[in-house]
Amino acid sequence: MDSLSIWLDGEFVPEEEAAVSIFDHGLLYGDGVFEGIRAYEGTVFKLKEHIKRLYRSAKILKLEIPISPEEMKEAVLESCRENGVKNGYIRLVVTRGRGDLGLDPAKCDKPTIFIIAADIELYPEEAYEKGLKLVTVPTRRNLNEAINPRVKSLNYLNNIMAKMEAREAGAKEGIMLNQQGYVVECTGDNIFIIEDDKVVRTPPPYMGALEGITRATLMELAEARGYEVIEEPLNRYDLYVANECFLTGTAAEALPVIEIDGRKINGGVPGPETKQLISDFRDSVVEQGAKI
């Protein structure tokens, strides 16, 4: 694999030389924000929406990003061009920057920004063809009043703990509940169910779910196919008795679920309606975004 060029604070450096300070608050405390973005056939999918969410997350943390959204957008596109990425994954990160060993963010002089444009594979192709088996994990989603999950921050320990529990249970992905026991999302993906009479349901963001870009896209595609899309609280009963189930996420894209906590969904095979919506998504990605 060829060495990547990393956009770091306004210039490209070889990945072997790309570094942040050991005193950076992103490293020491998870103090920062990020976006994961996909490129398809020379189009960066919904780049405008990703940049908007990045700046919203930064605003919640009172993290002043030193370049404009338009400059950030161009930096992402430049990163793709520099690395010859037409189909791939972009990780855009803004940290609080170098500070000291204390918590006070006022000690950080300026934010650090870096962009990685490369490849990613979260799930094998088999998962998209045959579907995933999920388990509910013990770790609960962060409280909105603690670290609001709608902020895409660098502090992902909550998700990592849940991912480890899923793996230890023999599943590739785990379902996270909130403190009240309602289904929120998976460790890195939003979750949907399909019910009778063309109804699609998904947990609302106020329950603790990230407002996923791919999530919003699938909701639009479902409505275009005549589904009623409802955001409302779901519990595990709703998942167990659903006709079909699928996950969405930037890195994972969209993929079917065939079993939850040992209960088969659609007889243990990907559902036809799920497969149609996934096909719609794949057909739409090159039409929605910024050209590299």
> What string of pLDDT tens digits covers the 292 residues of the chain?
579 999 999 999 999 999 999 999 999 999 999 999 999 999 999 999 999 999 999 999 999 999 999 999 999 999 999 999 999 999 999 999 999 999 999 999 999 999 999 988 878 889 999 999 999 999 999 998 888 999 999 999 999 999 999 999 999 999 999 999 999 999 999 999 999 999 999 999 999 999 999 999 999 999 999 999 999 999 999 999 999 999 999 989 999 999 999 999 999 999 999 999 999 999 999 989 999 9
Angle between helices 47-60 and 213-224 (to 10 degrees): 130
Given the structure tokens 């060029």, which residue do they identify?
5
Choosing from 46, 133, 152, 275, the catalytic residue is: 152
Residue 1 is predicted with a pLDDT of: 58
Sign of CA dihedral 234, 227, 150, 85: positive
Q: Is 264 a catalytic residue?
A: no
| Pairing mode of beta strands 244-249, 289-291 | unpaired
Residue 259 is predicted with a pLDDT of: 98
Q: Last residue of a domain, which of 51, 86, 118?
A: 118
Tell me the CATH number at 246. Answer: 3.20.10.10
Whole-model pTM? Answer: 0.95
Residue 172 is predicted with a pLDDT of: 92
Same domain, 182 and 113: no
Q: Last residue of a domain, which of 67, 89, 118?
A: 118
Same domain, 191 and 269: yes
